[in-house]
């Protein structure tokens, strides 16, 4: 299949990427199925905050969650958008490297309903469940 970025918007610490995904047509007499879908993100280390407390420092962890957002389309205007969590991982805030999240359910949904609008939502929260900016 092919993926192309067709829009990029950055505003108020929110980045929106819109993709156009095209799946291959199966050969005559065969079927096409989705085995797995992965979202790979590269995480940079978070800058450590100055330690003003003499107590034992708390380990800084981040939770990264990816969800499928099924959007309303012009045919189903009366239906609300639905969000379904796909995967979530905890990582050390000071670490860097590639992260991999399972989005197989979203890719299968896109394959079955190629004309239905949908998006991935990636949320990053700290130890206190506060979204990071």
Interior angle at CA 101, CA 99 and CA 104, nearest 5: 150
Distance between CA atoms of residues 121 and 69, nearest Å = 7
Whether residue 122 is predicted with pLDDT greater than 80 in this model: the reply is yes
Flag whether pLDDT at 101 surpasses 90: yes
pLDDT, tens only, 4-45:
555 555 555 556 666 777 788 888 998 888 899 999 999 988
Q: What is the pLDDT of residue 7?
A: 54
Q: What's the whole-model pTM score?
A: 0.74
pLDDT single digits (tens) 67-99: 888 776 656 555 667 888 999 999 999 999 999
110 by Cβ neighbours in 10 Å (0-12 / 13-18 / 19+) ranks as buried
């Amino acid at each position: 299949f092919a993926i192309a970025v067709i829009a990029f918007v950055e505003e108020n610490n929110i980045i929106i990427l819109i993709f156009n995904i095209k799946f291959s047509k199966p050969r005559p007499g065969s079927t096409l199925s989705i085995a797995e879908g992965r979202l790979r993100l590269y995480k940079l280390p978070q800058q450590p905050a100055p330690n003003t407390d003499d107590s034992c420092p708390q380990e800084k962890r981040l939770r990264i969650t990816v969800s499928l957002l099924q959007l309303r389309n012009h045919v189903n205007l009366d239906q609300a958008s639905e969000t379904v969590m796909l995967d979530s991982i905890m990582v050390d805030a000071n670490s860097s490297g590639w992260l991999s999240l399972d989005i197989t359910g979203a890719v299968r949904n896109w394959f079955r309903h190629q004309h239905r609008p949908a998006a991935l939502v990636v949320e990053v929260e700290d130890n206190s469940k506060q979204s990071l900016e």
